[in-house]
Structure 1
Amino acid sequence: MGDVQAGHIRFVTSDHSPCTPDLKETDAMNAWGGISGLQNDVDVLFDEAVQKRGMSYKHFAQIIASNPADLYNLDQKGRISIGKDADFVLIQPQSPYTLEAEDLEYRNKISPYIGREIGAQVYQTILRGQTIYSQDAGVSSEFTGKFVKK
């Protein structure tokens, strides 16, 4: 986390690399690489970086939004500004929960975060002005993603 805090790492993302449990039941050199982490990565990063280590909200927004958008020339993404896509992740700080397998939205209910207390929660996710996730309603059944060719 020190390199992230110091600015040596410009952004943190996830490739969400899911697998079945049997592909993880071997030694480290032969196990499937990656985790199903997309659902909880922002919660964990916010808790660890902002709440536990004092990263500023601005720096957090840079590493999860504006810096990746800049690197990949996604002009409509990464910032709150008139004319940009209205993409937001609303985080409820200081709201600890313990992640359980049944909380996972993906098919293979494995995660290194199961059993871990996470001190913040994503409360709502908005993509181009449309709510695609909320704690109250869960994941929207209508996904509005679109292919971005660069």
Structure 2
Amino acid sequence: MYFVTDELDEIGPLAKCSPPIRDKKAQDGLWRHVLAGNINVITTDYSPCPATLKNKNNAFDAWGGIAGLQNDVDIFFDESVQKRGMPLTQFSRLIAINPADRFALHTKGRIAIGKDADFTFILPNSPYTLRAEELEYRDKISAYVGRKIGARIVRAILLGETIYSLENGLTGAFPGRYIKV
């Protein structure tokens, strides 16, 4: 939904994923379906790997998958709400409500009494260019490095505790818990 085939030579094996990146016409068609409400959930196929598995001369030899979990919300907000006018209610359904419902995560997905206090605060219209040193991954590689992203995550709260802020970065102590679905 973000990259198109015309960019693949420039990005190289970092953009190898499955399903593969499509052309602009296919991307536009996918966005039409998303905005029309025909897609229920938006997420990432996050697939990190060491740089040695991506740094190949032949893309067919490279690891398949894009490291992108850190930026899936800010990029999707920029692409959907800011660039395409998606209503915030649809945005929240796609990234929070519908996934929680789909996987029967009864304490997730909504702001309500009895739900977990999980929040992501997004600062709209605040473009920045992603740098490798900003990545919180073990291996600081991503097809998104060098890309201008038009919105910023400024705070993330998990179970009522701030785990990330733009000012201080990650806290390092996470109150999360494994949920078997």
- Give the structure-2-normalised TM-score: 0.79
- Between Structure 1 and Structure 2, which shows a larger proportion of helix residues? 2
Aligned partner of 2:37 in structure 1 is 7
1:26–1:5 Cα change, 3 Å: farther
How far apart in 1 are the matches of 2:57 and 2:92? 37
Q: Does 1:116 align with 2:147?
A: yes
Structure 1 runs of 4+ aligned residues shifted over 3 Å read 26-30
Quote the RMSD (CA, aligned, Å). Answer: 1.2
Partner of 1:18 in structure 2?
48
Amino acid at match of 1:27: N
The reply to whether residue 38 of structure 1 matches residue 44 of structure 2 is no
CA distance in 2: counterparts of 1:104 and 1:123, whole angstroms: 15
* 1:45-60 to 2 correspondences below 5 Å: 45-60=76-91
> Using the alignment, how far apart are the partners of 2:158 and 2:32 within structure 1?
31
Corresponding letter in the other structure for 1:74: L
For 2:57 and 2:49, locate their aligned partners in 1 and report how far apart those are by CA, in whole Å.
13
Instruction: Tell me what 2:179 maps to.
Output: 148
Runs of at least 5 residues in structure 2 that lack an aligned partner in the other structure: 1-30
Per-residue deviation, 1:26? 4.5
Percent identical among aligned pairs is 57
Larger mean CA deviation between 107-116 and 18-27 belongs to 18-27
Residues 96-134 of structure 1, C-alpha deviations (whole Å, 9 max, x = no match): 001111111111111111111100001100111111111
Cα separation, partners in 2 of 1:147 and 1:58, compared to 1, 3 Å: same
TM-score by length of 1: 0.94
Residue 132 (str. 1) matches residue 163 (str. 2) = yes
8 Å CA contact 2:159–2:176 kept in 1: the answer is no
User: 1:14 corresponds to which letter in structure 2?
Assistant: T
